[in-house]
Structure 1
Amino acid sequence: MPPHKIKILTYNIYHGEAFYRPGTPNLQEVAKVIDACQPDLVALQEVDRFTQRSAQLSGGTPQDLCAELAKLTGLHGVFGKAMDQHGGDYGEAILSRLPLDLALSPPTTRILPTPEGGESRALLTIDYPLGRGEKITFAATHLCHQHEANRLAQVKGIIQVADALDGPFILAGDFNFETGEAPYHVLAAAMKDTGVTAGNTALTWPYDAPTTRLDIVFVDKKHNWAVKDVALIDNDASDHFPVLVTLELHPQ
């Protein structure tokens, strides 16, 4: 049986505002990046839904950024709320080439632990059929930027979710950790860092003078994944580089 080829994009979109051009919306540019990458699944971070902040970027009307990007790209979108923000919602989103009604169950948003307090964070997951009764789970997340103890607790919570799955698992997002931190080491021990596997651990933030690798795609270690390519996409619509990962899932 031939392998399943899957292209994953993770993209922190800076709440729909062009970081280097304050007050300018970036959704059109973000959509162009997504279109050019032709991903199967996209993990989006810093996604506003009907916030006053989004209204300030769109002529006064609050926007659902996930829905807007789904329209612009022709992909299918689902939003996962992490917290209240500016009179609306803020969190993660997934864009999928496959229609949402093909998902095996409704997408799930799990609130991650924050033992040190601070902003609420979430894990958004969706399951799709692979055939032969198998399923694949794709997850999008954005970990705490304030406290390492929160990131460690959040990583452990994500690993619990992954360990409960029998099928292949892909995790993508903005992890807000340094690769020397305990949260990274705990996650990298449990899952495969695709950048390390591909030999591309280029720094992803900030765009104009990168100092840190925040944006990563991980895959589970239970299944036969081949990492064919990891690429940073050169575009300044956000303060983060988008990261595109091409995977092959081979039969066990």
Structure 2
Amino acid sequence: MRLATFNILHGRSLEDDRVDVDRFAAAIGSLDADVVALQEVDRLQERSERADLTAVAAEALGASEHRFVAALSGTPGATWMAATGDEQPDEAAYGIALLSRLPVHSWEVVRLPSVPWTVPVVFPGQRRPKLVRDEPRVAVVAVVEEPATGRCLTVAGTHLSFLPGWNTWQLRRLVRTLRRCSTPVVLMGDLNLEPEAVRRSTGMRPLVEADTFPLTQPQRQLDHVLVGGEGAGGLRVQRAGAHRLPLSDHLALTVDLA
């Protein structure tokens, strides 16, 4: 079973600063993964050719099971509101996705606590802080079955806040939710935390260690694939690594499990 996680930067390439849907489809297809967690996913946004990027990725992978979960409704960086789950399919939205080529027994959405006020942040190249409103954060959880053995695995995908402290709080909240699962649990996504902070907050075992950000000269691991829960000790890593694809400002991670 191959797992993958990728912050796709809504499909944009740093080379030409544009979204090419065909290029995006080819990049996702090249991962050849059975279960994929995607972050920074657009649906019907002008900047990404008004494409449903989850549907594009699912077709490229041959993933019959997939869920897009909106974190916000509207336009990122402009006018938006926190998503509630009641959005219509023809509404512009932005969030995360989980895709599976394996049968899925159940789906669950976990909405995580978000910062209720604007926060001063100093961005690279700027001297003065800028007040920013952090985006809402969510997780999507699926129980997947490996047909060859009939065994089930709970897989969760998420994208946590970039604000220190809040991301740790969100991660601990999500892990508490996942602890009730009766299967091994894999947590994937852009956690905006480095490995030591992730280990302290989760107690889960990392399946891949590789710097994933920034794309050109990766120096930090912000993206993770973790395992824990009942029966997790029986999962073995055959191969794992980071992959530079022709889009995004992150590397993708893949893990082959036995």
Give the structure-2-normalised TM-score. Answer: 0.79
Q: Aligned residue for 1:67?
A: 55
Counterpart of 2:108, as a letter, is: T
The answer on 1:113 being equivalent to 2:148 is no
Please provide the CA RMSD for this pair: 2.1
Q: Aligned residue for 1:3?
A: none
The residue correspondences of 1:20-31 to structure 2 (distance < 5 A) are 20-22=15-17, 24-31=18-25
The residue correspondences of 1:100-139 to structure 2 (distance < 5 A) are 102-105=103-106, 107-115=107-115, 117=117, 118-130=134-146, 135-139=152-156
Q: Aligned residue for 1:42?
A: 36
Pick from 58, 70, 81 the counterpart of residue 81 of structure 1.
Answer: 70
Counterpart of 1:186, as a letter, is: S
Distance in 2 (alpha carbons) for counterparts of 1:137 and 1:48: 25
Shift of residue 221, structure 1, vs aligned partner: 4.5
Contact 1:11 1:44 in 2 (8 A): yes
Taking a change above 3 Å as real, the CA distance of residues 218 and 207 of structure 1, as seen in their structure-2 partners, is: same
Taking a change above 3 Å as real, the CA distance of residues 216 and 222 of structure 1, as seen in their structure-2 partners, is: same
Pick from 204, 219, 225 the counterpart of residue 212 of structure 2.
Answer: 204
Counterpart of 2:205, as a letter, is: K
Shift of residue 134, structure 1, vs aligned partner: 5.3
Question: What is the SS of the residue equivalent to 2:161?
Answer: coil
Question: What is the SS of the residue equivalent to 1:204?
Answer: coil
Q: Aligned residue for 2:207?
A: 194
Q: Aligned residue for 1:8?
A: 3
Counterpart of 1:31, as a letter, is: A
Q: Deviations over 1:90-113 (max 9, x none)?
A: 111112113xxx4223x2221111
Pick from 212, 215, 221 the counterpart of residue 213 of structure 1.
Answer: 221
Question: What is the SS of the residue equivalent to 1:111?
Answer: strand
Distance in 1 (alpha carbons) for counterparts of 2:28 and 2:144: 21
Contact 1:115 1:149 in 2 (8 A): no
The residue correspondences of 1:235-250 to structure 2 (distance < 5 A) are 235-248=245-258
Pick from 90, 93, 98 the counterpart of residue 94 of structure 1.
Answer: 98
Contact 2:4 2:255 in 1 (8 A): yes
Give the gaps of 5 or more residues in structure 1: 1-5, 196-200
Count residues in correspondence.
Answer: 223
Q: Aligned residue for 2:127?
A: none
Give the gaps of 5 or more residues in structure 2: 81-91, 118-133
Question: What is the SS of the residue equivalent to 2:105?
Answer: coil
Distance in 2 (alpha carbons) for counterparts of 1:135 and 1:72: 24
Contact 2:183 2:229 in 1 (8 A): no
Question: What is the SS of the residue equivalent to 2:200?
Answer: helix
Distance in 2 (alpha carbons) for counterparts of 1:243 and 1:152: 21
Shift of residue 220, structure 1, vs aligned partner: 1.1
Shift of residue 35, structure 1, vs aligned partner: 2.5
Give the structure-1-normalised TM-score. Answer: 0.80
Counterpart of 2:154, as a letter, is: T
Distance in 1 (alpha carbons) for counterparts of 2:15 and 2:74: 22
Shift of residue 49, structure 1, vs aligned partner: 1.1
The answer on 1:142 being equivalent to 2:144 is no
Distance in 2 (alpha carbons) for counterparts of 1:26 and 1:204: 22
Counterpart of 1:192, as a letter, is: R
Q: Aligned residue for 1:198?
A: none
Shift of residue 129, structure 1, vs aligned partner: 3.4
Shift of residue 213, structure 1, vs aligned partner: 0.5
Question: What is the SS of the residue equivalent to 1:219?
Answer: strand
Pick from 156, 170, 185 the counterpart of residue 169 of structure 1.
Answer: 185
Distance in 2 (alpha carbons) for counterparts of 1:30 and 1:112: 28
Distance in 1 (alpha carbons) for counterparts of 2:166 and 2:150: 36
